Chains A and B, each alone.
Chain A
Amino acid sequence: MNAELRARVLAAAAAETSPTCSDLRRRNLMIGLVAAASGLGAFVIFAALMSEGHLLRLGGEVAPHQYLERPVGLVATSVGGALVVAATAVWLALRRGRSMLGRSRRRLLFGAALIPISLLAWKVGCSIAFGASMVAWPERPGERCLALSLFVAAGPLLSFLAIRRSAPVQPALNGAVIGFAAGAVAWVAADLWCPIAYVPHVLLGHVLPLGVLAGVGALLGRALLAPRSR
């Protein structure tokens, strides 16, 4: 084995500082806090601009003399379930299991498919179970929820990519799952804010941003997570 090459590699590594496990844990904790703060901050700003600072909305006038109301129990159940799905999605996106190569392609694809399906099914299922009307709100097709979701998810998306740092295998797919996880976090905020469970509205305003974020995550994952030669 080439002794000169060995000396060169060891010297190059010694010259470049790199974080140890404990350094990285602290750093990731900080990034996690930044992600939470940025998501929450974005949600508060959006609510201040769009609904006079109301983070929780229980209904509104769907049409002249027609009101939509959702009970607090429905909000708690719906948001609670969404929180569980979001936490699972973040765990799936950031934890790599027992291998440095991360989770298998099949598991990632399965998780990526399951996140939007379970969020949608939970929201619609809760609304049906609580007997809440799923009427259309013509003035609210879903573009505001779409904007809210993308606005809230931007910070967590970048933070999750920074925490993941590298994915030598399937960086695009890992990035897409990170996008879904950021979208699931934003779903919780959108679920608090939006009283509408009308399916076309939910598909446009709540599910579509998950797809958009997964696409952006895939592009960013390919660009940022794959090791690059210098």
Chain B
Amino acid sequence: MAIPDLDGADAAMERYARGDAAAFADVYDAIAPRLLVLLRKATRDASAAEDLMQQTLLHMHRARGSFIPGAPVMPWACAIARRLVADSARRRRVEQRVFSEAPADDDRMTYDPVAATAAADDLLHAHRLAGRMQQRIEALPELQRNAYRLLRQEGLSLKRAAEVLGTTVSAVKLRAHRASVALRAALREAEELV
């Protein structure tokens, strides 16, 4: 199914803000697929991502009256989603501390019918590499990690990413560049080890 364009989402949100209840479905269709991708990458948990996407859209629903005509919807949605991800991670950490639970097992190998046809060694290598890279992304300073995710993984423009992060375009460029340099170094290091 083709994803509706974001200009359509802006117009639909404007109609929804004015009281056209049916327009929310158009807003959903335009932004939900993109939001879900962002949230899956951020949480690495499909059900948590769906839950956070629902919360993001409900937050937009509650705040629809404050929508500024002509404003782009997607950076707003991304900013809300980012806040909710950070808040839910903080909540989870507090709960883990309170209940003294052991950290979740990090073994994420799951059965994948397509990959099952590949050679076992390649699969294991790819899995380890992906795991290592993910660890390195997580280990990046928060500012660099957020800039990298919005630009490289979410595909936002520099201007939009700067708006979402509340900083300047040149600061986003610098952060994303530093993140890329660190990740490239990590990739070289990981490949040398193999």
**Which residues of chain A have a CB within 8 Å of any CB of chain B?**
1-2, 5-6, 8-10, 12-14, 16, 18-25, 96, 98-101, 104-106, 165-166, 168-170, 173, 226-230
**Which residues of chain B have a CB within 8 Å of any CB of chain A?**
1, 17-19, 21, 24-25, 28-29, 32-33, 36, 50, 52-55, 57-59, 61-68, 70-73, 75-76, 79-80, 82-84, 87-88, 91, 163-168
Q: Which residues of B contact A227 (CB under 8 A)?
A: 59, 80, 83-84, 87
Query: How far, in angstroms, from A99 to B71 measured CA to CA in the complex?
Result: 5
Interface pair B76/A168, CB less than 8 Å apart:
yes
Residue of A23, A173, A227 most packed against chain B (CB within 10 A):
A227
Shortest C-beta distance, B146 to chain A (Å), equals: 11
A-B contact count (CB 8 A): 124
Q: What are 9 A-B pairs with beta-carbon distances under 8 A?
A: A10-B24, A13-B58, A19-B64, A21-B64, A21-B67, A165-B66, A169-B164, A169-B166, A226-B83
Query: How far, in angstroms, from A169 to B150 measured CA to CA in the complex?
Result: 14
Interface pair B1/A1, CB less than 8 Å apart:
yes
Query: How far, in angstroms, from A20 to B24 measured CA to CA in the complex?
Result: 12
Known contacts A20-B64, A24-B65; A101 and B28 CB within 8 A of each other = no
Interface pair A106/B168, CB less than 8 Å apart:
yes
Q: Which residues of A contact B63 (CB under 8 A)?
A: 18, 165-166
Shortest C-beta distance, A97 to chain B (Å), equals: 8
Q: Which residues of A contact B17 (CB under 8 A)?
A: 20-21
Shortest C-beta distance, A164 to chain B (Å), equals: 9
Known contacts A12-B54, A21-B18, A170-B166; A100 and B76 CB within 8 A of each other = yes
Shortest C-beta distance, B57 to chain A (Å), equals: 5
Interface pair A10/B68, CB less than 8 Å apart:
no
Minimum-distance CB pairs A-B, first 5? A24-B65, A100-B76, A168-B79, A229-B88, A19-B65
Besides A5-B54, A8-B54, A100-B79, 7 other A-B contacts (C-beta < 8 A):
A6-B28, A22-B19, A99-B163, A105-B166, A165-B66, A168-B82, A173-B166
Which single residue of chain B is at the shortest CB-CB distance from A26? B65
Name B67's contact: one of A100, A101, A106 (CB within 8 Å).
A100
Q: Which residues of B contact A105 (CB under 8 A)?
A: 166-167
Q: Which residues of A contact B66 (CB under 8 A)?
A: 24, 100, 165-166
Query: How far, in angstroms, from A96 to B70 measured CA to CA in the complex?
Result: 13
Q: Which residues of B contact A169 (CB under 8 A)?
A: 79, 163-166
Name B75's contact: one of A5, A99, A104, A228 (CB within 8 Å).
A99
Q: Which residues of A contact B18 (CB under 8 A)?
A: 20-22
Which single residue of chain A is at the shortest CB-CB distance from B51? A229
Interface pair A100/B83, CB less than 8 Å apart:
no
Query: How far, in angstroms, from A25 to B164 measured CA to CA in the complex?
Result: 26
Query: How far, in angstroms, from A98 to B68 measured CA to CA in the complex?
Result: 7
Name B58's contact: one of A16, A20, A22, A173 (CB within 8 Å).
A16
Q: Which residues of A contact B76 (CB under 8 A)?
A: 99-101, 168
Query: How far, in angstroms, from A230 to B59 measured CA to CA in the complex?
Result: 11
Query: How far, in angstroms, from A5 to B49 measured CA to CA in the complex?
Result: 11
Name A23's contact: one of B33, B65, B164 (CB within 8 Å).
B65
Which single residue of chain A is at the shortest CB-CB distance from B90? A229
Q: Which residues of B contact A165 (CB under 8 A)?
A: 63, 66
Query: How far, in angstroms, from A101 to B52 measured CA to CA in the complex?
Result: 19
Q: Which residues of A contact B91 (CB under 8 A)?
A: 229
